Chain A
Amino acid sequence: MEAFKVVLDTNVVIAAAINPFGSSGKVLDMIVNGAVRSYTSEAILEELRFKLTSEKVLKYLESRVYALWIYRIFRASSVIVEPAEHFDVSPDPDDNKLFDVVYSAKADFLISLNKKHVLRLRDKEMRFSLKGHKFLILTPAEFIEVVERDKNSGV
């Protein structure tokens, strides 16, 4: 069976860097081990790099070197796309680049911790649609549940 295609919000990667043993860390585990396939873009990576090397985040990571490790781990484990189409779906324009990648990669999931905007965009069934492409917007914990359910149903 083909691996799930996911797009990660930068906040999930940062949460994984701060606590690699939490649900965000487990999502990064799946990406690094090839259980799910991550898609991203240079625009998302630029934001990630800025945030990971912010003094506020470095306080938790102990060293700038570790911040760059995480950047490299995520970048090298993801497929980088150049979205041809750009969307304007979020009240926060910064979030739109995530949707651009979801559509470009025809991803199955957008994983985010952004309760203010991204997670609010989904319907009651946690779905969202972009020009006919349907996908789920989930938190890392919700995504892990879906993966577990999928694993069990396949047995």
Chain B
Amino acid sequence: MSYGDGMSTAEKVSVRFPPSLMREIDRLVERGEFSSRSEFIKEAVRFFLLHYESPKELWEEYKLLARSRKLPSEEEIEKLLEEVDEEWKRSRSS
């Protein structure tokens, strides 16, 4: 049997995913966008490598993009952090 995508020489890797990420992957697989978890992961890795930038490059690009943003006050950020923390705690208890 021949595999068009080099599958005969494919390496098997075992990866552990956090449950929240797994749920998101399964949702797309159930929707039929990907035939399996494996298919999704391969597609995601291809996409990532195609668009790869180092963390340093990404951070510099992010800062450039943020220059045009209206930045909130320290107080507003503080309030937001509290609200998001409450959201996180609710998600853990539910």
Contact = CB atoms under 8 A, between A and B. Distances in A.
B55 interface: yes
Interface in A35-81: 42, 46-47, 49-51, 54, 56-57, 60, 62, 66, 69-70, 72-73, 76-77
B72 interface: yes
B94 to A, nearest CB: 13
A18 B65 CA distance: 12
Interface of B: 18, 20, 54-56, 58-59, 62-63, 65-66, 69, 71-72, 74, 77-78, 80-85, 87-89, 91-92
Contacts of B87: 51, 54, 56
Interface residues of A, number: 34
A77 B55 contact: yes
Given A18-B72, A21-B66, A21-B71, A73 B80 contact: no
A76 B85 contact: no
Given A20-B63, A22-B74, A28-B59, 19 more contacts: A14-B84, A18-B71, A19-B71, A19-B72, A20-B62, A22-B71, A47-B88, A50-B88, A50-B91, A51-B84, A51-B87, A60-B69, A62-B69, A69-B62, A72-B55, A76-B54, A76-B55, A77-B55, A94-B92
Contacts of B66: 19-21
A94 B81 CA distance: 14
B78 to A, nearest CB: 7
Contact of A66 (B20, B62, B85, B88): B62
